[in-house]
Chains A and B, each alone.
Chain A
Amino acid sequence: MDERLNSMLKELQQDPAAEAPGTYEPWTSEEQQRLAVLLPRYTVASPTRQMTAALIDRVLPLLDDASEAEKELFDRQVAAVNQKDRVPEERPTAGYWRVFIPQLQLLSVWFWIGSILAIGISILGMEPFAALALPLHTNPVVLTAPLLSLGAVAYACRSYGTPMYELELSFPLSPAQWVMGRVAAILACYIMLFSVASLVLTWDDPAQILPFTASWLVPLCLYSAATVVLLMRWGTMGATVVMLLLWLGQTLLRERLGPFFWLGDLSSPHFVSGKTTGSLLTLLAVIYLVYRLRGSRMDAPRLPTGGGVS
């Protein structure tokens, strides 16, 4: 039983108001229990010590000089209103880390272990794959990067379009921060891991590191961005199925797609054109995302129904 509530009710019952316009009915245990459970739920955030110190700085000058200090306080209030939406400018990285780190923590340890394993297997598969000398114009690392990225984005954003997403939006994140923070976290980690793979695989021929990096980086970014775009239109399941079919189609048709074969390696005759069209499509997808997310900056977007897998 809530002690404060208990004492309040006792106080009201033991010492009822004289000349009360009605009678004091006794409290039932159900009523007490209900209030005891629910009243403490109304929590509010408290101001920080910095906010208190800032308030003191603003208010105390009023003691010294009335007119000047009041004018200054008014000016500060006007400036504060103008600055309210630009607070992150004071420490540009603080807001970024505030969004980025919790997104990483939300993905489970098994997600990261699985990702590292998949990348490790793709690196180990490079040599046996090359030994087969198949004319596929692709390799395990280039095939793994987009597959992993689309799976990761779909997994990380699996709550999108579900009631869980509405709950997640009750945390202090805008929809744009939610999506971009999560996708940026995944991309940053995958790019680091695949960069290490590139370094290892091109150790004997450093000149190959840039073309090799481009071979997996373009499909990685393209599949991530395209998955997010489709996710916003068709929900998680729809986006995942479409992107998997695209990846399968690319893997099977390969060079027959010409400049639209984005999974080619350095041996592909359409390597440059494929990576160029892939980069342009990524750019278009990013522009669309920025446009779409800017539009939903303050309000939660009306989400596609269905498709959630959480």
Chain B
Amino acid sequence: MTDEQLLEQLQGANPAALEAVIYRYHEPVFRYIARLVRHSHLAEDLTQECFTRVCVAVRDRRLPNKLRPWIYRIATNLCKDQWKKASYRSEVSVDDRQLLDAPDDNTITSILARQWDREEVIRVLMLLDEDSRSIVILRYYEDLKLQEIAEIMELPLNTTKWKLYQALKRMAHKLEDGEVASDG
């Protein structure tokens, strides 16, 4: 069933359609939020809040034209609200390590190397402004189309493209600086 078909079903507040939406989007939305806030418990809470808002909107018949950008926009706005809270910055560093994937059968050396790489990517992503960070995560990690990202971020398509280009360039340079520093 396509998103459009699901959206039609949601017009009638069909619980099965809403269940299907949650099954389809819970994992990507959680991953998206987790990458933005870097805190698993907070990501769980924000994901639940996101789907609560979706559900209330379905109940009140306040539905958008497109499902996916709408859900991600709610998630993005929740993260932005979270960033504004003073308590957020003191929380993130504690839980970041828990977002690691379970260790696999690789050697400790390779796990350590990947963890350093991961920390480096996070460090560089955090240097970006909030919009650019969201755009990179939506485009690269969530594989959304630029048009959808523009709708989510409520930005013109050209601005979204430019921000993505600038963000990737900046990341590449910062990652190079990091490599040079570690080599030196």
A19 to B156, CA, bound (A): 11
Does B46 interact with chain A (Cβ within 8 Å)?
no
Instruction: Determine the chain A residues whose CB is within 8 A of the CB of B164 once the complex forms.
Output: 8, 12
With A41-B117, A47-B27, A52-B22 in contact, do A63 and B101 touch (Cβ < 8 Å)?
no
> Complex: how many Å from CA A274 to CA B100?
49
B88 within 8 A of A: no
Residues of A163-222 whose CB lies within 8 A of B: 164, 167, 169-172
Across-interface contacts of B179 in A (CB, < 8 A): 34
Tell me the smallest distance from the CB of B98 to a CB of chain A, in Å. Answer: 6
Which residues of the partner chain A approach B40 to less than 8 Å between Cβ atoms? 45
Known: A12-B165, A45-B34, A62-B55. A55 touches B158 (CB 8 A): no
Q: Is A1 an interface position by the 8 A CB rule?
A: no
| B99:A44 contact, CB within 8 angstroms | yes
Q: Which of B27, B30, B121 contacts A39 (CB 8 A)?
A: B121
Tell me the nearest residue of chain B to A20, going by C-beta: B162
Q: Which of B1-9, B63-71, B169-177 contacts A (4 or more CB under 8 A)?
A: B169-177
Question: Interface residues of A: mostly helix, strand, loop or mixed?
Answer: helix
| Mask: chain B, 106-123; 1 = CB below 8 Å from A; 0 = not | 001001101101101110
Contact for B108 among A16, A21, A167, CB less than 8 A: A167
Task: Say yes or no: is B184 at the interface (Cβ < 8 Å to chain A).
Answer: no
Query: CB-CB < 8 A to B19: which residues of A?
Result: 56, 60
The answer on a CB contact under 8 Å between B55 and A44 is: no
B125 pairs with A55, CB closer than 8 A: no
Whose C-beta in chain B lies nearest to the C-beta of A34? Answer: B175
Taking the nearest CB of chain B, how far is it from the CB of A101, in angstroms? 13
A25 CB, nearest partner CB in chain B, Å:
7
Contacts of A62 on B, CB cut-off 8 Å?
52, 55-56, 59
Chain A residues touching B, range: 35 or more
Q: Which residues of A sit under 8 angstroms from B44, Cβ to Cβ? A: 47, 51
Chain A proximity of B131: nearest CB distance (Å): 15
Docked Cα-Cα span, A31 to B158, in Å, equals 23
Contacts known (A31-B169, A39-B121, A42-B121); A55 close to B143, Cβ less than 8 A: no
Q: How far is the CB of A149 from chain B (nearest CB, A)?
A: 26
Provide the residues of chain B in CB contact with A59, threshold 8 Å: 18, 22, 48, 51-52, 54-55
* Complexed CA–CA distance, A31 and B114 (Å): 19
- Going nearest first, the 9 A-B pairs with the smallest beta carbon separation are A17-B158, A17-B161, A31-B172, A41-B117, A41-B118, A44-B34, A62-B55, A42-B121, A52-B26
What is B's interface to A at a CB cutoff of 8 Å? 13, 15, 18-19, 22-23, 26-27, 30-31, 34-35, 40-41, 44-45, 47-48, 51-52, 54-56, 58-59, 94, 97-103, 108, 111-112, 114-115, 117-118, 120-122, 125, 139-141, 143, 146, 157-159, 161-162, 164-166, 168-169, 171-173, 175-176, 179
Interface residue ranges, A against B (CB under 8 Å) = 4-5, 8-9, 11-12, 15-22, 24-25, 27, 30-31, 34-35, 37-39, 41-47, 51-52, 55-56, 58-60, 62-63, 66, 73, 77, 84, 164, 167, 169-172, 298
- Give 8 pairs: A residue, B residue, CB < 8 Å, sorted on A: A20-B162, A56-B19, A59-B22, A59-B55, A62-B52, A77-B48, A84-B41, A170-B100
Given contacts A17-B162, A20-B161, A52-B27, 4 further A-B pairs with CB under 8 A are A27-B172, A39-B171, A45-B98, A167-B112
